[in-house]
Structure 1
Amino acid sequence: MHDPSDWSRREFVVASLAGTGALAGCTARGQPADDTSAAADESSGCLDDWLADANGYEGVIERYAPDQEVTVTVGESLGAGHTDDAFGPAAVRVVPGTTVTWEWSGHGDPANVVAVDGAFDSGEPVGVHGYTFSHTFDETGTYRYVSEPTREAGMVGAVVVADPPSSGYPAVDEWLAGVNVYDGTVVDWRDHSSPLVTVGSAEGESEFTFSPPAVRVSTGTTVRWVWTGGPHAVAFEDVDVESDVHTEPGVRFEHTFAEAGVYRYACAPHHALGAKGAVVVE
């Protein structure tokens, strides 16, 4: 069983990537990674290898909840001195039935959006600000795409289509559906009297993440939240309990759960960025 303070960065990354197929089989539209057919050469293999060449990719596949709109910028600026030839975000994870819209910024070279397996194609490259192209993803799988004129320069991206994580607690799954690090695991801390949740995530993986995002404790347990730095607060949805905004590292908030139930919470300043967590009390 985990020590409550030892939800490590390695576990965080493995949990996050396993749900995308990047580590678990490296699939593409259901193909196994060892498919050696010519058609599978580009669309199979490990997703992290594909994204290693993507401009603007920093190791995070942005996850979207079923009710969120998904827009990818074509011609994303990477800052002074860098190219505008990027998709932003470079990789997204959505549920089946989601429509992804690509919107042109007007920056960078004329671009298009073309799936390497032919699943979608926006047509000839354009550079017009506000131009859009949309595609609805009905089947699970990994869809890799490029901008043909600037592919070799790193303008590549991916859409991962996967069922939302399932833990057996529907309220938890719905609440955390858009949280990148949630894979359906509810860490069992029922044997711990005072477990510790990291605010800002383990080892700084993300400043907008609770680590672990979902835990299970026994009634009477006092859960503590430890800050890694930055302006954060813990505010519950189901009870009138919240912390002040703190910036200094250290344990800044704790709460004792006297009654069984599912308790959803978020970082008040960063709720919209997916800074959410849940405590299941049994």
Structure 2
Amino acid sequence: MVEMFSRRTFLRSTAATATISLLAGCSGSGGDTGSDGGSENGDDSESTTESTPTAEQEQASFDGWFDRTDNYDGVHDKTDQDSVTVTVGAEGNGGGFAFEPAAVKVSPGTTVVWEWTGEGGTHNVLERENGLFESELTAEEGFTFEYTFEDAGEYKYVCVPHETLGMVGVVVVE
């Protein structure tokens, strides 16, 4: 009887420790600074322009659009590029269920190209509010879909099959 109690206690504490460790890993900032320590105060001048959101962008939080997304790391400023690629089926939300980067800022006239990794099953890209753009559903690695943004605004989009998992994104056109 004593041995069985000890085994149960061990299994319970191991499961609790594993759960806490897993949750702690999920709640960390997913910043792409490339350093192991990084500064929580945003003092890393290299990452400030690329992956750390500005105070205004972080405050807006797109009305909670990214609340269920674990790979949102701010708005990536790509306003100096004619074409921007977003990965479809990137690692996030428990598997290949993310767009990477989740949010980009581009200039009017920029073409955004979504490129499939082949991970996470069948995906698509659908502009949520007005259906302004929609790709086909596919799991094919290397498949691409593109849309050229002409008008300023925020364009929220989803992968319909995995929206509830947090596979959502935003293109900000300024």
TM-score by length of 1: 0.42
Paired residues for 1:91-106 under 5 Å: none
State the SS of the aligned residue for 1:207: strand
Report whether the alignment pairs 1:192 with 2:84: no
2:123 to 232, 238, 242: 232
Structure 1 residue ranges, 4+ long, deviating more than 3 angstroms after superposition: 151-155, 159-162
Change in 2 beyond 3 A, CA 1:171/1:260:
farther
SS in 2 for 1:209: strand
1:129-208 superposed matches below 5 A: 150-156=11-17, 157-158=19-20, 167-168=57-58, 170=60, 172=62, 174-183=64-73, 185-201=74-90, 206-208=95-97
Q: Partners in 2 of 1:268 and 1:277 — Cα distance?
A: 12
Aligned length: 134
**Alpha carbons of structure 1 residues 153 and 206: separation in structure 2 relative to 1, 3 Å:** closer
Deviations 1:222-242 (A, max 9, x none): 100000113110011133221
Q: Percent identity?
A: 41
For the structure 1 residues 222 and 169, does the alpha-carbon distance in structure 2 shift closer, same or farther, using more than 3 Å as the test? Answer: farther
* Partner of residue 246 from structure 1, selected from 138, 143, 149: 138
CA separation in 1, counterparts of 2:77 and 2:170? 12
Cα distance in structure 1, aligned partners of 2:59 and 2:155? 11
| Partner residue, 2:152 | 260
Aligned-partner Cα distance in 1 for 2:117–2:81:
22
| Counterpart residue identity of residue 72, structure 2 | Y
Task: Give how far 1:151 is off.
Answer: 4.0
In the TM superposition, residue 149 of structure 1 has moved relative to its aligned partner by: 5.3
Cα distance per residue 1:190-247 (max 9 Å; x no partner): 0111110000116xx8310000101000011110000011311001113322111012
- Contact 2:68–2:165 under 8 Å retained in 1: no
Which residue type is aligned with residue 254 of structure 1?
E
SS at match of 1:200: strand
1:199 touches 1:232 (CA, 8 Å); kept in 2? Answer: yes
Name the larger-Rg structure.
Answer: 1
Shift of 1:148: 5.0
Q: Is the 8 Å Cα contact of residues 246 and 252 (structure 1) preserved in structure 2?
A: no
Deviations along 1:78-122, whole A, 9 cap, x unmatched?
xxxxxxxxxxxxxxxxxxxxxxxxxxxxxxx99xxxxxxxxxxxx
Shift of 1:249: 1.2
User: Normalized per residue, which structure has more helix?
Assistant: 2
**Aligned-partner residue type, residue 231 of structure 1:** T
